[in-house]
Structure 1
Amino acid sequence: MKVHYIHQLPVKIELFKSIQESLSKKVDLTTTLNTNNFKYIAGVDIAYWLDEGIEWGICSIIIIDSVTLKVIEKAFSSGKVTVPYIPGYLAFRELPLIIETVKKLTIAPDLYMFDGNGYLHPLRMGIATHASFFVHKPTIGIAKSYFKVNDAYFEIPKNEVGAFENITIGNEVLGRALRSHKDVRPIFISCGNFIDLDTATEFTLSLINKDSRLPIPVRIADLETKRIRKLLIAKTE
């Protein structure tokens, strides 16, 4: 797949903040495309491990058909991780592997769902938002746990499927705590880019089945990442 390089990778640490501040001004939280045309949905996940003091990472992207819910393509990339973990700037650490994996895809996704945050971020630039400028497609962030952003607050949603509570700072909505299953912890959903929060919520719920509180593409990508990581680790032992 073609990737639009909006900046070089990797990036010098001193440029992290200015790059994200600049990109945040270009985020579009509206849906201009007909979601009925969101046929091919990509799930993106990354995992890490240490080997003799060297950190490695792997990115898995799976694509499902939103009608049949069947996996129609898988791709992964692995390599040394050269960018340190800095809270708030995780995207710069994950983007190199994500972009390399996107380039391997032969089917063009209509929508990407990331295991992580999007607009729910101090600079409104979580991985789902930042990556959107490279893939030029609508994106959604799906997080399994809450990443507190400044003074953002929310209430726990009612214990019923589809219940949600907005996560806000002042009058700005950054994302939602969404109950995808009854009696199960909520997930945290935020727009990445080129999509509005109501549409992102509706589409996420449409891709959740009885097997997991996560939407199918994200869940399968997570499982695939763990599977391949285990194989790669075994090769070094």
Structure 2
Amino acid sequence: MNKEDIINSYDFKNIKTEKEAAEVQLKLNEFIEIDKKLKIEKIKKVAGVDLAYWKKEDVEYAVCCIVVIDYSTKEVVEKVEYVGEIKFPYIPGCLAFRELSLVLEAVKKLNLDPDLYVFDGNGYLHPRHMGIATHAGIYLNKPTIGVAKSYYKIADTDFVEPENSEGAYTDIVIDKEVYGRALRTQKNVKPIFISIGNYIDLETSTKIINKLLNKQSHIPIPTRLADIETHKMRTLYR
């Protein structure tokens, strides 16, 4: 089986349990490419991806919002959203089985073709290296980065707080392997947690995220804007 056959063989609707989801994640591991460096000078458009949830008459829904910005000017060049029903339960480490189908449908609505996707969530920083950013990167066949606002503790390993200065970071090392990075984007703010999604390395990911920051928030511009859109859309649809 080639990559496409393996990917297409997994029908998310038929995956119901944590065990089934974990088996899929482990099989997809062979498609993670950590050391493929994305050339920063070739980045023109960056997409931020975020989702928001709500319940209506005991049915759970979510909206996926994608905001694409110009990497140089940071101006918004496109916005799309997709609303769908959520049928997979909340299980830590299995977020993609709740969100990926909505993400893929939202991507279909884009007129532009982003060079990079930044997800509000983890990527390689995951027990099976298959957070939403990595999982989505394989399906999208695009470079992806995961940026989480809170730390997902793995193997009972805590992260080391970076120095209290802008740009300070510490690597998150679990079983002698670097899973991700804690980055303090501004002085006196909580760190964010960067991990590669796919088709990119951690150093390049860190440089890109640092370029996507401003003083309005400690999280990157694309995911902050996507988060704002999810709140707007949730209010509209719920």
Note the C-alpha offset of 1:77.
0.4
- How many angstroms apart in 2 are the aligned matches of 1:17 and 1:33? 28
Greater Cα shift, 10-19 or 184-193: 10-19
Aligned 1:70-219 pairs, distance under 5 A: 70-219=75-224
Q: Gapped runs of 5+ residues in structure 2?
A: none
One-letter identity of the residue aligned with 1:216: I
Greater Cα shift, 20-29 or 179-188: 20-29
- Match of residue 8 from structure 1: 11
Note the C-alpha offset of 1:51.
1.1
4+ runs deviating over 6 angstroms: none
- How many angstroms apart in 1 are the aligned matches of 2:14 and 2:108? 19
- How many angstroms apart in 2 are the aligned matches of 1:120 and 1:24? 13
For 1:100, what is the secondary structure of its paired residue? Answer: helix
Greater Cα shift, 78-87 or 220-229: 78-87
For 1:16, what is the secondary structure of its paired residue? Answer: helix
Query: Please, what TM-score do these two structures have when normalized by structure 2?
Result: 0.93
One-letter identity of the residue aligned with 1:75: V
Q: Gapped runs of 5+ residues in structure 1?
A: none
Is 1:75–1:101's contact at 8 Å kept on the other side of the alignment? yes
Is 1:177–1:186's contact at 8 Å kept on the other side of the alignment? yes
Residue 68 (structure 1) aligned with residue 73 (structure 2)? yes
Percent of counterpart pairs with the same letter? 49
For 1:25, what is the secondary structure of its paired residue? Answer: helix
Query: Please, what TM-score do these two structures have when normalized by structure 1?
Result: 0.94
Aligned 1:52-63 pairs, distance under 5 A: 52-63=57-68
- How many angstroms apart in 2 are the aligned matches of 1:153 and 1:69? 34
- How many angstroms apart in 1 are the aligned matches of 2:40 and 2:13? 33
Q: 1:196–1:11: structure 2 CA closer, same or farther, 3 Å change rule?
A: farther
> Cα RMSD (Å) of the superposition?
1.2
